[in-house]
């Protein structure tokens, strides 16, 4: 397995371990409680990480016939 595939585990850790650690209402960020902001942030970052994995993956090259 390629080393950059481990980037896919970062969002999993952020959701499973991070949410219980940041479970609080204050401070409000962008009008949201901190826990909700944390989840929204990681949904966006997860999309970016998946996009990076897609761009670095070599399986998306055209196959020559």
- pLDDT tens profile 3-50: 777 888 888 888 888 888 888 878 888 898 988 898 999 999 999 999
Domain parsing of the chain, residue ranges: 3-58
pLDDT value at 63 more than 60: no
Residue 3, SS3?
A: helix
pLDDT value at 58 more than 80: no
Q: Report, in angstroms and rounded to the nearest whole number, the Rg of the chain calculated over CA atoms.
A: 16
Token duo for residue 65 = 């016939």
What is the CB neighbour count within 10 angstroms for residue 6?
Answer: 9
Residue 16, SS3?
A: helix
């Amino acid at each position: 397995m390629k080393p950059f595939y481990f980037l896919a585990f970062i969002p999993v850790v952020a959701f499973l371990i991070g949410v219980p650690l940041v479970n609080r209402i204050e401070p409000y960020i962008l009008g949201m409680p901190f826990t909700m902001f944390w989840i929204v942030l990681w949904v966006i970052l997860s999309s970016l990480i998946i996009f990076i994995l897609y761009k670095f993956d070599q399986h998306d090259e055209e196959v020559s016939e």
